Structures are given as C-alpha cells and as structure tokens.
Chain A
Amino acid sequence: MEQAARRRLQEQLARLADGDRDAFHPVFVELRPILQRFAGRHLRPEDAEEVAQEALVKVFAHAARFDRDRDALSWALGIAAFEIRTARKRRERHREDALEATSSAEASTNPPDPSPNPEQAAIARSLDEAMDDALRGLPPLDAETLRAYARDERPPGVAPTTFRKRVERGLARLRHRLGIDAEGNGP
C-alpha cells in the first residue's frame, strides 16, 4: 500500500473513531480490497471472501474504539488475522468432526470381521503344511512335544522341567532342519 494511501486511511479511521459518519464510506472503499487480498493470501478462495467480509464488519464494529496513535492499517490487518485464524480453526474442527462421523458410520455399518480373509487363511494353511512337513522329519518324540507346546499343553506324566528341556531340544532340531540359526536368521 502506498504511503499516501496509508496516511489517508489513518486520517479517515481517526475521523470515524471520533464519530464522523462522512468517513464511513471512504474507509469501507479503502479497506475492502486490502482485506480481500490479505484473506486471499492466507485462505482458500471459497473461504477468503467470507472471512474478508467478516473482518471488515469487525473493523467497523471496533472503529469507535480505534486509538488514533496506532497505525490504522496494522490495526485492521490484526483484526483480519484474528478472523483468519478463527476460520482456519473452524475448518479444522469441521474436518475432524467429518472424519470422526465417517469412521463411526463405517464402524456401525461394517463391523470388523473376526474371521480371516481368504488370503490370510491361505497363508496360514501353507505355513501349517510347511510346519507339518518339518515336524514329520523330526524324531516322533520331538514332533509330539512341539505339537503339544504349540497347543500350549503338557503331556500327562511329563515333569515341567523335562518338558521344557524337550521343547528346547525339539526347537533346536526343527531350526536345524529348517536351516534357521539361533538368532532366527533364515537360509
């Protein structure tokens, strides 16, 4: 904004603050495009016009209390900046609300399916088959122990310490058979 225009705005806003209604229209005409450009730089076009109008109305609502020692342009832009911040917060809140509403609507119409999808089922099946193949290659006692361990069971009559040792031995043999080292690195 040119220095002369800025001084003119300062003088007109001071007159308006004093109650001179003749200064109303010049201030309106001077400030409107400034606030439109300012809002346009900080907001999306669909929000900018509305926010610029709100800011302009707020400027006039507070014009009676404008302190003539302050810079008129900075004062008006300060009010516009507050409106822009408020508009941004409002938009964010709407977006969050919309997301929340969408996710809760999806949750109510499509509750999560506890059963695995066909792909997951196929992967689990082939893993089981691979494990069965590996277990078949182990001594029967190791295979039996690991199957019981996988089911979180302990064969009757086997002491816990003995079972733990058998599990460790069975796992070591299984790893060896699958070509996996002690750290879990594969072939």
Chain B
Amino acid sequence: MIQEPRSDGDGAARERHDDALLLARARRAYEGGRVGLGLLMAAAVVPMAVLSFLACGRPAATLSGSMTLVLVVATAVWRGQDAGRGARLGLLAGVPPLLLPVIVGATGHLCSADVCLLFPVACLGGGLAGGLLLGVLGVRAKLGPTGIVIAGIAAGLAGSLGCIVAGAVGVGVLVLGLAGGLAPALVLRKA
C-alpha cells in the first residue's frame, strides 16, 4: 500500500509526541537516579546494623530498626531537598548514641552482675551529643521543619541500634537525650 505523504501538521504532531516521549524518558531516568542515590545513602545503615547485631544481642530489634532506618533514609534522599538533607544529617547525628553504649558494653567493667545502669547513661549522653550535633549542623545547613523531623527520626533510629542493648529504657532515654540536645538549636531558631 502506498502511504500518503505526511502533511506539516502530522509532522509537527509527531515531533511533539517524540518530545513528550523523550521528556518522559528523561523524567524516569532522573527518578531512577534519585532512587539509586537513596539506596546508596541507605547502605550506610549496613555497618550500623552489623555493629548492633554483634554488640547488642537482640537480632529481631536490630533487624526491624535497621529496616525502618533504611526505608526512612532511602525515601527521604529520593524525595530530596529538606528531607534528603535531614536524612543525611540524622544518620551522622545517630552515630554518638549508637557507639557510646557499644563502647560501654565492650569495656563492661562498671556494670554489676544484674544491672548495668551505665547503658542508659551512655544512651542519654549519646543522645545529647547527637542532638547537639544535629542542632549545629541543622542550623548550618538551614534545615527546615521537614528536614529537622526527618533528621530526628533518622538519628533516633540509628542511635536506637546501639541503645537497644539497654532495652526500652535505653531507647527512651536516647529520645530524651536527642530532644534535649536539639532544644537549644530549636529555641535559637524560633528566637
């Protein structure tokens, strides 16, 4: 069958269609790149989870905490902007409350046979340090409300991977410590 030559109108429509296809491809590529970046950033949770698994002896809590943290970080970094920056800072701020209880557990000589009150103290201290760090970095990065919330959640989850060694009490005092450390920055921000 012989095809009729295309009119200019058909050519323009085809060009618009091609442009739309290219735009859609580019958008998919961009979102794919962002998902990759989110997963890459979330990979930082793996060493934290390994440390928690080895030091805390609560595999179920470690698994659920680290999976939630991966989800929060990957989603926030994929979304980007304030949420992405908040997730990155939260991971960083979660390091002190993650490490302090683990270090205390490794030295161990200050704990009695039945109870180790040093763990909740370590979680509180780690939380305070993490909160202060988050406050300073958050102010410097001009983190908005969304970013601060995401950063707090990420820091809390990362810190809880170390504080689960002290059970629910450890996680509770960690949250208090984080809030206490972050408070001055929030007050300054409002003022």
Contact of A24 among B25, B30, B36, B83 (CB under 8 A): B30
Q: Is B32 an interface residue (CB 8 A)?
A: yes
Q: What B residues does A24 contact at CB under 8 A?
A: 26-27, 30
Closest Cβ of chain B to A21, distance in Å, is 8
Q: Write out, one digit per residue, whether chain B residues 24-45 have a CB within 8 A of any chain A CB (1) or not (0).
A: 0111011011101100000000
Q: What A residues does B71 contact at CB under 8 A?
A: none
Known: A61-B33, A62-B33. A19 touches B79 (CB 8 A): yes
Q: Is B80 an interface residue (CB 8 A)?
A: yes
Q: Write out, one digit per residue, whether chain A residues 40-64 have a CB within 8 A of any chain B CB (1) or not (0).
A: 0000000000000100111011111
Contact B30 A63 (CB under 8 A): yes
Q: What A residues does B84 contact at CB under 8 A?
A: 18-19
Contact A28 B79 (CB under 8 A): no
Q: Is B103 an interface residue (CB 8 A)?
A: no
Bound complex: CA A56 to CA B24 (Å): 12
Q: What B residues does A136 contact at CB under 8 A?
A: none
Interface residues on chain B, size class: 10 to 19
Contact A60 B33 (CB under 8 A): yes
4 pairs of A and B residues whose beta carbons are closest in the complex: A19-B80, A61-B29, A60-B30, A60-B26
Name 30 interchain pairs, CB-CB below 8 A, sorted by A.
A16-B30, A18-B81, A18-B85, A19-B78, A19-B80, A19-B81, A19-B83, A19-B84, A20-B80, A24-B30, A28-B26, A53-B22, A53-B25, A56-B26, A57-B26, A57-B29, A58-B29, A60-B26, A60-B29, A60-B30, A60-B33, A61-B30, A61-B32, A61-B33, A62-B33, A63-B30, A63-B33, A64-B34, A64-B36, A65-B33
Taking A60-B26, A64-B36 as given, write out 6 further A-B residue pairs in contact, using a Cβ cutoff of 8 Å, ordered by the A residue number: A53-B22, A53-B25, A57-B29, A58-B29, A60-B27, A64-B33
